[in-house]
Amino acid sequence: MRQEISAAGCAERIRSARRVVALTGAGISTAAGVPDFRGPGGIYTTGRYDPQATFEIDGFLRDPAPFFRFTRDVLGLVADLEPTLTHRFLVGLEAAGTLRTVITQNIDPLHQRAGSRGVIAVHGGYWTSHCLACRGRFSLDELLGLLERSPVPFCSCGGVVKPDVVLFGEPVYAMEEAVAAVAAADLLLVLGSSLAVYPAAWLPEVAECPVVVVNRGPVELAAAPDRFFADAELDPFFSEVARELGMAIPEPD
């Protein structure tokens, strides 16, 4: 039977932990205005983008234009967004020495923008790009400059510049590092993830510590003695957790 947990119960788990690891999904960023993939108004659900042409590496290699139409929408949206209360809560936990690592499935830069330092982005992100031909490296500002000049960004060598975002059919980043972080944890927080996308969804299975899952909607993780669930919006939940801990949440810069 699934064990429910309250904000007070979550706070007590955090209070007794010394090595907390957080695994975050789209739900931590939706409150900031970033659309998710699988929710009721998600990118897949609305059909605004053709999934095969836009999000699969084979489609990208055939024609990168659909992916860059999506990229323009995402980067235009994210440029003005601020990290959520839950992003900032994690920064506060890290500053207190309790949170060791954030493992994120998200490709937005909101954890970094909030001030988190120990971030493992298993699906990559837009903050770096590389040329598929010469392997030259590009910053986000350089990518934006290229996109201002052309629908598809090209390197000076003529190769397509691809953001370091993991598309379906590509290996994820730093999975061994993520597994090691979870294995060393004494508490795993899963925040805003339905745990539907592997291999990141496998991480709670390798945890040898209590797992607290806070997500609005179904989660694809079986009940177990050391697994605790809250079907809740993240920001109100962690606002209450912070109050229970007597913890001040860092203000946005």
Give the whole-angstrom CA distance, residue 155 versus residue 135.
10
Q: Is 130 a catalytic residue?
A: no
| Cα 20 → chain centroid | 17
What sign does the CA torsion over 204, 205, 206, 211 have? positive
Beta strands 187-191 and 211-214: pairing type? Answer: parallel
Q: Which of 87, 111, 123, 130 is catalytic?
A: 123
Give the whole-angstrom CA distance, residue 167 versus residue 43.
14
What sign does the CA torsion over 23, 27, 31, 37 have? positive
Just list the catalytic residues: 123
